[in-house]
């Protein structure tokens, strides 16, 4: 149990945090924020009301993660599929909401020593939104605490396509394609997330059991925590509960449990 509790946690958060092992906190947490539409529908409100309510969940989650010393937090804010398949009115609202969020939250991000980054095909977003994003990134660039990454117009498959294009382009400028060497380290260096460690924990809200084209390469060994809580209702307390569940698990990376020994070859073959 923890003797020292970070400042800023409320009573319920403190109660959960005291049972965590601070030496085994995940270094990088990724969150698939899902359930805004269902949250609004249950209240007989328009979908955009759910998106607006989700901003409060973002603020609470980000601040709690920073307070307890999480090194990196990545939020799946807006997928490439959202951009192509949602009604234009909803997409336009989300872009305005993003711009307002960035303008309003920079002061809080700086107060909590949080540096803001983005992943995704940003160049496809409206120019005024890109300008606001760059302004917020620059305004927090001096911070050295948690890295908050917003996945905007993001698709894991597109990320891999862009990574391989980048590798081919690098080879063509370095003596030709015969110099192209592809291995896991090379791929990782060309991903959008090359500045981040792979996530240790991925949280999915709203009870859905899928990754939704999110960080497919990076989540290869991540622990998955699914909560039925809809995103607008998610708070720092729920994040701490996810971390508590994460700490109950033994991460094996394809190996054996602690204390477990490999079976002899004849046992594996049934001889």
Instruction: State yes or no: is 82 an active-site residue.
Output: yes
Write down the catalytic residue from 21, 34, 110, 113: 34
Q: What is the pLDDT of residue 251?
A: 79
Torsion on CA atoms 73, 225, 122, 70, rounded to nearest 10: 0
pLDDT band at residue 94 under the 50/70/90 scheme:
very high
Helix axes 47-68, 236-247, angle to 10 degrees: 60
Domain assignment present for 71: yes
Structurally, the chain folds into a number of domains equal to 1
Residue 156: pLDDT over 60: yes
Instruction: State yes or no: is 36 an active-site residue.
Output: no
| Residue 198: CATH number of its domain | 3.40.1180.10
Domain assignment present for 32: yes
- CB burial of residue 211 (10 Å; 0-12, 13-18, 19+): middle
Please identify which residue in the block is written with the tokens 């800023």. 8
Domain assignment present for 265: no
Domain assignment present for 19: no
Distances 66 to 71, 240, 267 between C-alpha atoms, Å: 8, 12, 49
Domain assignment present for 212: yes
Q: What is the pLDDT of residue 260?
A: 60
pTM (2 decimals)? 0.91
Residue 236 burial (CB count, 10 A): 25
Q: d(Cα 143, Cα 165) in Å, to the nearest integer?
A: 32
Domain assignment present for 214: yes
User: Across the beta sheet with 147-154, what order do the strands follow?
Assistant: 115-119, 147-154, 72-79, 28-32, 201-204, 223-226
Strands 72-79 and 115-119, bridge-based pairing: unpaired
Helix axes 47-68, 88-111, angle to 10 degrees: 20
Domain assignment present for 133: yes
Closest CA relative to residue 214, chosen from 161, 150, 162, 157:
157
- Tell me the per-residue pLDDT of 32-68, one tens digit each, with 9 for 90 and over: 999 999 999 999 999 999 999 999 999 999 999 999 9
Q: Is residue 165 within a helix (H) or strand (E), and if so which, with residue range?
A: helix 156-172
- Tell me the per-residue pLDDT of 183-226, one tens digit each, with 9 for 90 and over: 999 999 999 999 999 999 999 999 999 999 999 999 999 999 99
Domain assignment present for 10: no
**Domain, as residue range, for 75:** 27-249
Q: d(Cα 56, Cα 112) in Å, to the nearest integer?
A: 16
Q: What is the pLDDT of residue 270?
A: 42
Mean pLDDT, the chain, integer: 91
Write down the catalytic residue from 3, 10, 82, 153: 82
- Tell me the per-residue pLDDT of 100-155, one tens digit each, with 9 for 90 and over: 999 999 999 999 999 999 999 999 999 999 999 999 999 999 999 999 999 999 99
Please identify which residue in the block is written with the tokens 């708070």. 235
């Amino acid at each position: 149990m923890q003797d020292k509790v970070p400042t800023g946690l409320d009573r319920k958060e403190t109660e959960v945090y005291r049972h965590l092992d601070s030496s085994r906190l995940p270094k990088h947490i990724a969150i698939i924020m899902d359930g805004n539409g269902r949250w609004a529908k249950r209240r007989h409100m328009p979908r955009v009301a759910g998106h607006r309510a989700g901003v409060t969940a973002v603020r609470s989650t980000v601040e709690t993660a920073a307070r307890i010393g999480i090194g990196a937090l990545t939020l799946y804010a807006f997928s490439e599929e959202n951009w192509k398949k949602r009604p234009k009115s909803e997409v336009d609202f989300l872009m305005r909401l993003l711009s307002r969020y960035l303008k309003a939250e920079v002061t809080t991000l700086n107060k909590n020593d949080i540096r803001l980054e983005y992943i995704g095909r940003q160049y496809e977003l409206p120019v005024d939104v890109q300008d606001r994003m760059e302004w917020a990134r620059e305004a927090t660039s001096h911070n050295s605490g948690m890295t908050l990454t917003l996945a905007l117009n993001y698709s894991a498959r597109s990320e891999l396509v862009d990574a391989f294009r980048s590798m081919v382009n690098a080879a063509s400028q370095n003596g030709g394609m015969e110099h192209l060497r592809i291995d896991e380290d090379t791929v990782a260096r060309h991903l959008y997330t090359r500045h981040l460690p792979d996530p240790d924990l991925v949280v999915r809200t709203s009870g859905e059991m899928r990754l939704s084209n999110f960080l497919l390469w990076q989540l290869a060994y991540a622990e998955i925590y699914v909560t039925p809580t809809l995103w607008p209702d998610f708070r720092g307390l729920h994040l701490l509960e996810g971390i508590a569940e994460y700490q109950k698990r033994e991460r094996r990376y394809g190996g054996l449990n602690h204390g477990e020994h490999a079976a002899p070859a004849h046992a594996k073959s049934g001889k």
